[in-house]
């Protein structure tokens, strides 16, 4: 039996003259009444989010819009549509007996009054172009964070939310649990700007969006018919604290299902900025980009002595990321297309500020960068061009297995930071490194190689950080060494 309550009528039921479905009291009812252009229904598992997504379209059936009321519901892959189509086939005939599911390669639901809801898939921008030029006043995304690592498909589809019929709703609706490859950008768009349920107004367009928190406790039908459901959800997390918070509390302050799941803890690793002691060496690390962002990170290595202003005594060899520079245009994974000279100048300017505010007179040593910047093309290399402006790096260790080894080393250092007192070198980051914190802790695993990161994500800070922690003193690739007195 579907999880929503089959009792009194909603707007959709009254239009159909039946009592087959109604929204659950609480968040589901709120979601269906939202006037905003964009809305995200996020939260705990089992709260009835998919049912609400379907009814967000269906509640406007029979209101006289006819064929003009046309919607598209998207998953990243065609095979993922099966569950939502089955739910539609369960609910819609009970409310509208003369409606029908059109199955096959391009499934859709049709109503006798002309309305249509299409079930489609689109993972990439190339997939979006199949729909370019279409008009859908209703656009829906199921499992937004799981299917789309970047917002490009979501944003492009928004351009199709249109109609020539005056007064008809135009809306984009999405459901999700707070984890997966798209966790970062969805959180930045819907969660960070305002508390749950509070309207966010886009400064450029004036359009509004909002996030609604779904609660399992509201779904009395499911809990009464399946009292062990929550226990099974808890058991399925297999002790993963972050996944448990995501699935049972709908928490966005988690790292669930990613490469650092069970290792990263912001309460342990995120520190207020303090001045780095003179005895701690400091290095710069780099991940080059043009159309995609470039990223620079500055790292200090603790010598075991306590730093003034730091609440903890960091184990010898612990790494502290103290500053960042991100060459992006404010949109996820989009770069500034700066020249190498502009990048070098930006780094030198950033280091002048870092020296004044965070250092104690020590020099900044060349740290690792992707060795690809030293590949000679047309008689020169990116690395050589940047060095001409006084900014040096060393080629990172990119030998066989280095990617996996780097992620494992970084995850191990995150885990070490959670112990008090510390028993090994840990990893820490200043709370001012906002783009590192936005992009790195939530990096998702590569589905084909779970020990590696899915490289389609915004992983630039992740890459330069694993370069740094995975440096190999004495190797032929010229990585960083501590000064002799360390």
Q: What is the CATH number of the domain that holds 381?
A: 3.30.420.280
Q: Is the pLDDT of residue 2 over 50?
A: no
Q: Is the pLDDT of residue 16 over 90?
A: no
Q: Specify the CATH number for the domain of residue 77.
A: 3.40.50.300
Question: Could you write out the DSSP letters of every residue in 355-403?
Answer: HHHT-SS--EEEEEE-GGGGS-BTTB-HHHHHHTTT---EE----TTHH
Q: Indicate if 208 and 278 belong to the same structural domain.
A: no
**Contact of 3 with 46, CB cutoff 8 Å:** yes
Highest mean pLDDT among 177-191, 226-240, 383-397: 383-397
Q: Indicate if 171 and 227 belong to the same structural domain.
A: yes
The predicted-structure confidence for 79-88, as pLDDT tens digits, reads as follows 999 999 999 9
**Mean per-residue pLDDT of the chain:** 89
Average pLDDT over residues 224-230: 89
For 335, the domain range is: 266-469
What pLDDT, on the 0 to 100 scale, is given for residue 474? 36
In a domain, 481, yes or no: no
Overall number of domains in the chain: 2
Share above pLDDT 90 across residues of the chain, in percent, rounded to a whole number: 69
Lowest mean pLDDT among 235-244, 375-384, 440-449: 235-244
Instruction: Please give the helix or strand (H or E) that residue 73 lies within, else none.
Output: strand 70-75
Q: Indicate if 382 and 456 belong to the same structural domain.
A: yes
Phi, psi at 158, each rounded to 5°: -60, -30
* Residue from 139, 175, 169 nearest 50 by CA: 175
What pLDDT, on the 0 to 100 scale, is given for residue 5? 42
In a domain, 258, yes or no: no
Q: Indicate if 464 and 376 belong to the same structural domain.
A: yes
Widest Cα–Cα separation across the chain: 83
In a domain, 255, yes or no: no
The predicted-structure confidence for 273-324, as pLDDT tens digits, reads as follows 999 999 999 999 999 999 999 999 999 999 999 999 999 999 999 999 999 9
Which residues, 6 or more positions from 305, have their beta carbon under 8 angstroms from its beta carbon?
277, 279, 313
Q: Indicate if 245 and 332 belong to the same structural domain.
A: no
Q: Indicate if 241 and 303 belong to the same structural domain.
A: no
């Amino acid at each position: 039996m579907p999880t929503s309550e089959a009792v009194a009528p909603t707007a959709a039921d009254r239009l159909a003259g039946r009592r087959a479905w109604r929204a659950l009291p609480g968040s589901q009812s709120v979601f269906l009444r939202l006037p905003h252009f964009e809305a995200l229904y996020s939260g705990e598992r089992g709260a009835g989010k998919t049912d609400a997504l379907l009814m967000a379209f269906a509640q406007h059936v029979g209101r006289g819009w006819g064929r003009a009321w046309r919607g598209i519901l998207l998953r990243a892959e065609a095979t993922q549509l099966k569950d939502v189509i089955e739910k539609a086939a369960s609910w819609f005939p009970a409310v509208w007996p003369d409606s029908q599911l059109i199955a096959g390669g391009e499934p859709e639901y049709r109503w006798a009054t002309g309305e249509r809801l299409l079930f489609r898939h689109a993972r990439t921008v190339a997939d979006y172009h199949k729909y370019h030029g279409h008009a859908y006043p209703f656009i829906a995304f199921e499992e937004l964070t799981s299917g789309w690592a970047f917002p490009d498909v979501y944003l492009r589809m928004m351009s199709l939310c249109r109609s020539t019929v005056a007064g008809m709703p135009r809306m984009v609706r999405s459901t999700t649990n707070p984890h997966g490859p798209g966790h970062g950008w969805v959180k930045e768009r819907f969660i960070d700007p305002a508390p749950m349920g509070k309207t966010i107004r886009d400064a450029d367009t004036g359009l509004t969006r909002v996030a609604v928190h779904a609660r399992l406790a509201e779904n009395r039908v499911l809990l009464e018919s399946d009292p062990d459901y929550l226990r099974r959800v808890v058991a399925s997390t297999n002790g993963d604290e972050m996944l448990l918070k995501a699935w049972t509390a709908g928490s966005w302050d988690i790292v669930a299902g990613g490469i650092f799941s069970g290792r990263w803890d912001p309460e342990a690793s995120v520190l207020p900025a303090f001045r780095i002691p003179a005895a701690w060496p400091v290095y710069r690390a780099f991940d080059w980009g043009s159309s995609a962002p470039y990223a620079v990170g500055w790292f200090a290595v603790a010598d075991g002595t306590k730093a003034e202003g730091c609440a903890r005594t960091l184990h010898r060899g612990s790494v502290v990321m103290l500053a960042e520079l991100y060459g992006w245009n404010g949109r996820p994974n989009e770069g500034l297309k700066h020249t190498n000279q502009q990048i070098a100048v930006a780094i030198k300017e950033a280091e002048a500020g870092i020296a004044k505010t965070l250092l104690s007179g020590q020099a900044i040593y060349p740290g690792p960068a992707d060795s690809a910047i030293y590949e000679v093309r047309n008689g020169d290399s990116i690395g050589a061009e940047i060095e001409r402006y006084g900014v040096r790096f060393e080629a990172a260790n990119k030998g066989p297995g280095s990617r996996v080894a780097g992620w494992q080393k970084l995850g191990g250092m995150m885990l070490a930071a959670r112990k008090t007192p510390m028993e090994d070198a840990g990893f820490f980051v200043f709370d001012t490194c906002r783009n590192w914190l936005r992009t790195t802790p939530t990096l998702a695993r590569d589905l084909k190689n779970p020990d590696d990161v899915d490289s389609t994500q915004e992983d630039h800070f992740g890459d330069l950080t694993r370069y740094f922690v995975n440096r190999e003193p004495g190797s032929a690739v010229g990585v960083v060494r501590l000064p002799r007195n360390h």
